[in-house]
Amino acid sequence: MLTDRFAALSHPARLDVLQLLIRRHPDRVPAGEIATVLGLKPNTLSAYLSELVMAGLITRTRFGTSLRYGADLPGIRDMTETLLRNCCRGRPDLCPPGADPDLTGDHSMSDRTYSVLFICTGNSARSIFAESILRKMAGDRFEVFSAGTRPQSELNPMAVEMLRSKGHDISGLRAKNVSEFQGADAAKLDFVFTVCDRAANEECPPWPGQPMSAHWSTPDPVKAEGTDAERMLAFQHAYGSLHNRIAAFTALPLTTLDRISLQHALDDIGLGAAAE
């Protein structure tokens, strides 16, 4: 089974599919979106998806009349843990940090101030919402940042008005590029959350220090159409969804959860169980 899984990943495009679904976890992604993001023909992608499902690396779930795909984390974990145990013999000096807490001794987080980065594409609305909400909700426990993979030159005016109406301090907010947080002198991050699908779809270099990460998909209110009231309602929904997710995040017992349990909790928040 281990050789079957590595054989499935021996083709660069199949590896790209798996990496995309890992970045989008816990979302379940339609084949059409995968094909668009990776520039693959539908029939070619169909063959790749079937091979990855058979290898136990991705899952296929029916939603109504459509099929959606996601990363099979137990299968991936079994593959990597088998490799580490068989080849690395459980030596922490050979196993990559954070790959398996049982092997590396990396269990839970210490009690301190944590650094959190929220990412979306434009850094003009959703990630700005998340930054502001967490800072207001628990700014004594978290150092909070936001950034965009393709940041806008200015914050969205409706987003700014929404924050102002909710009593947030908007004086220091600005759109920033993720590159500000990836250099050698950048602040060490403990958590990195993507809040839009487009940013999660993009490849990103590994973050120094291996921070915990999760994807909290939030519809883009900037794309809403209609009257000003209808558009503002979309911003209200985005704000409310992120507020509920961040409230669930701040309630987590960070110092007592091991990293695997914490990751599962972050993913559950992303699935929306705590967001509505």
Catalytic residues: 120, 196, 204
Residue 274, burial from CB neighbour count under 10 angstroms (0-12, 13-18, 19+): middle
Is 151 within 8 Å of 176 (Cβ atoms)?
A: yes
Is 225 within 8 Å of 231 (Cβ atoms)?
A: yes
Q: Provide the pairing of β-strand 29-30 with 66-71.
A: antiparallel
How far is Cα 149 from Cα 59, in angstroms, rounded to an integer? 28
Neighbours of 206 (CB within 10 A): 8
How far is Cα 199 from Cα 221, in angstroms, rounded to an integer? 15
Which tokens hold the place of 207?
């973050």
- The residues pairing with 258 across neighbouring beta strands, listed in sequence order, are 108
Residue (of 138, 114, 116, 119) closest to 218 by Cα position: 119
Is 17 within 8 Å of 9 (Cβ atoms)?
A: no
How far is Cα 266 from Cα 246, in angstroms, rounded to an integer? 10
